[in-house]
Structure 1
Amino acid sequence: MNPHLSDLPGDPPAVPTLRVAALQMVSTPRVEENLRAAARLIDEAVLQGAELLALPEYFAIMGMRDDDKVKLREIDGHGPIQDFLAASARAHGIWLIGGSLPLCSEHPDKVLNSSLVYDPQGQRVARYDKIHLFGFRQGIESYDERATIEAGRQPAAFSTPFGRVGLSICYDLRFPELYRSLGVTELLVIPAAFTETTGRAHWEILLRARAIENQCYVLAVAQGGRHQNGRETHGNSMLVDPWGTILDRKLKGPGIVIADLERARLDEVRASLPALGHRVM
C-alpha cells in the first residue's frame, strides 16, 4: 500500500470549522532571512486565530541560480529548515505546511522539491515530493526544473480533525488526475512560485477549477513579487471554497490570506450537486 496515502475516509470530522492561512512571501537567496520572514508571518497569522498554516514553494530559498538549492539541500529529517518548521508548529500548537524545501535525492546534482507537514505537537505527519516538473520557454524566459530536481513518484494526503488534506506543488496544478488520485478531500493545499507570465494567464482559473471539480476548499499559497534573482512571481494567494468562490486573496508582496473552512458549506455543495457520487471513471 502507498505509505503516503490512504483511500479510506477515516474517522468522521471532529470539528465543524478550521481557520486556515496562506503566508505569501517574496523569498531571497538567504535561508536565515527567509526563515525570519516566515516566522513573522506565522506569528501574525496565529494572532488572527489560524490553526492550519501553509508557506509557499521555495519559501526558504529563492537562489540566484537554479543550483543554489542543491548546495543547501537537507537530509530527510535533519537540517535547519526542517527544525524551524517542527519548532514553529510545536511552539504555536498549529498544523504547519512547509510549502517546499530542497531534500537530498538519489542524484548527486539534484534535489527533491518536497512539501512537509507538521502537526500541533511538532511531529511530521506527511511528505510530498513534487511529481510534475515545470518546463517553459517563451522569448527570453525559460525554465527547466528537470535540470536540478528529481521528480517525486507518489501522491500524498493527511488527516486533520476537520478532514483530509491533499498535497501538491505549483506545476502539479495543471494535472487534474493527480487530485482525482487523492480520493475525496476536504482541502487541497497548493504552494507555488508561479511565474508572472503563466500565473497571469492561468493561475486563478486552474485553482477555481480544482475546487469546483473536487468539491473541496483550495488553499493556494504563492511567492508574490520581484526576487533578487530577477524572477517575478505572480502571487495572488487565495482561499477558494467548494463552489469556486474566492474567500480571501493577496495579490502581491508578503502577507496573509486567512478565512474559515466550514463543514456545513462542504456538505451543502456536495448535497446540492452530488458530482463526486456521479463519477464513473
Structure 2
Amino acid sequence: MKIAAIQMRSGLDPEANLAALEPLLTEAAAQGVDYALTPEVTMIFPENRDQLRSVAAPFEGHPQLARVGDLAKRLGLHIHIGSLPIPLEDGRFANRSVLFAPTGEQLATYDKIHLFDADIAGLNAYRESATYKGGEEAVTVPLDPFTLGFSICYDMRFPKLYNTLANAGANLIAVPAAFTVPTGQAHWHVLLRARAIETGSYVIAAAQGGTHANGRSTYGHSLIIDPWGKVIAELDHDEPGVLVVEIDPQAVVEARQRIPALANARDFAKPSLHG
C-alpha cells in the first residue's frame, strides 16, 4: 500500500488553502498513492479566536469538505484531512479529522482529544480548551490491508491513546500536526518514533511548515516511520511537499513478534505511600 504525507503552509483563507492542497493531492495520486494525509488546521490556520469564528463553517454542507470529497472521487484515493475547526453549540470548536473514501463519501471523523492547557512561568496561561472542546472517543477504521488509527498533534504526547488504538487493531496511525519550531526541534522525531516502537505500528505524520499568515512558524519535517521505529521517509525542511512511501503489513507482524509489548502488557495497582 502506498501512503503520502502532505506538507502545507496553510493561511487564513480556506479557499486559498484548498487551492494549495489540490495540486499536492494530484501529485500524490500520480505516484499511485492509496491514502494521503494532510496536516492539522489544513483548511484554516487562524490568527485568533475571532478570526476563526468569522470563517469556520458548519460541518453539514461544509463547502471545502464537499470539494475534498469530489477530489477523492476524481483522484481515486483516500484523502484524510488532518483537521479543521468545526463550530459547536457551546460556542467552542471541534478540531476534527475527516477521512474520505475513493468514492467521495466520508468514512470517519475524529475530534482531537487532548488539549493544551498550561501555566508557563513568565508567560500568560494558555487555554486551548477555551476555544476548542476535546473529543471523547478513540477512532479506528479499516483501510485494507491496514487498520488506521486517528490522532492529532498534541495527542502524540499521550501514549495511552496510541496503546488503545493498537489494541483496537490499528497498525497505521495518523498524526497530522502543526508543531512549533522549538518543540519540533526538541521532541518531534523522538515522540513519533516512540509511538511507533511501543505500538509496533507505522506512523505517518503530516506537518505544517514555515512562517504562516497568522505570524506563527511551524516545524515541517513530515515523517513516515516503520513499526521498528525507523524513519523511512522525511521531508527534511519546512516547505510544502509530498512524501510517498510503500508500506507492508508484514512489517507490523514481524515487529510485534520480536517485541510483543502489546501482548505482554499487564494491569497494575497504583503505588501506595510507604515510610
Q: TM-score, normalised by structure 2?
A: 0.91
Residues 1:232 and 2:217 are matched in the alignment: yes
Are residue 247 (structure 1) and residue 249 (structure 2) matched?
no
Matched, 1:200 2:185: yes
- In structure 1, the partner of 2:55 is 72
Partner in structure 2 of residue 107 of structure 1: 90
Per-residue deviation, 1:142: 7.1
Q: Which residue in the other structure is 1:121 paired with?
A: 103
User: Which residue of structure 2 lines up, in the alignment, with residue 177 of structure 1?
Assistant: 160
Percentage identity across paired residues of the two chains: 38
Amino acid at match of 1:104: P
Please show how residues 92-171 of structure 1 align to structure 2 within 5 Å.
92-108=75-91, 110-136=92-118, 137=120, 143-171=126-154
Q: Secondary structure at the match of 1:67?
A: helix
Are 2:256 and 1:270 equivalent residues in the alignment?
yes
SS state at 2:133 partner: coil
* SS of the residue 1:121 aligns to: coil
Distance 1:78 1:33, change over 3 A: same
Residues 219-277 of structure 1, C-alpha deviation per residue, up to 9 Å, x if partnerless? Answer: 00110111121101111110000000001111311011110111222222122222222
In the TM superposition, residue 197 of structure 1 has moved relative to its aligned partner by: 1.6
Can you list the C-alpha shifts for 1:123-175, whole angstroms capped at 9, x where unaligned?
11111001111235476697432221111111111111112100011101101
Any idea what SS the aligned residue of 2:162 has? helix
Secondary structure class of the residue paired with 1:222: coil
Find the structure with the greater CA-based Rg.
2
* In structure 1, distance between residues paired with 2:162 and 2:260: 17
3-state SS of 2:49 partner = coil
Distance (Å, rounded) in 2 between the aligned partners of 1:29 and 1:140: 26
- Quickly say closer, same or farther: Cα 1:142–1:84, change in 2 above 3 A: farther
Greater Cα offset, 24-33 or 132-141: 132-141
Cα drift, residue 73 of structure 1: 2.3
Query: In 2 relative to 1, CA 204–139 (structure 1 residues): closer, same or farther, beyond 3 Å?
Result: farther
Q: Deviations over 1:32-84 (max 9, x none)?
A: 11001100100111111111001100111112223322222232231112112
Cα shift at 1:100:
0.5
Report the more deviating stretch, 132-141 or 38-47.
Answer: 132-141
Distance 2:59 2:115 in 1: 20
How large is the Cα RMSD of the aligned pairs?
A: 1.6
Structure 1 residues 138, 57: closer, same or farther in 2, change over 3 A? farther
- Distance change (3 Å), C-alpha of 1:147 and 1:88: same
Asked if the contact 2:2/2:32 (under 8 Å) is kept, the reply is yes
Give the Cα–Cα distance (whole angstroms) in 1 for the partners of residues 146 and 159 of structure 2: 20
> Are the counterparts in 1 of residues 29 and 76 from structure 2 also a CA contact under 8 Å?
no
Where does 1:2-13 land on structure 2 (aligned, <5 Å)? none
The secondary structure found in structure 1 opposite 2:15 is helix
C-alpha distance in 1, partners of 2:178/2:214?
13
Match of 2:266 in 1: 280
Q: Quote the Cα distance in structure 2 between the aligned partners of 1:72 and 1:138.
A: 33
Matched residue, 2:245: 259
Separation (CA, whole Å) in 2 of partners of 1:163 and 1:29: 34
**TM-score (norm. length: structure 1):** 0.89
Between the aligned partners of 1:141 and 1:200, the Cα distance in structure 2 is 23
Q: Secondary structure at the match of 1:203?
A: helix
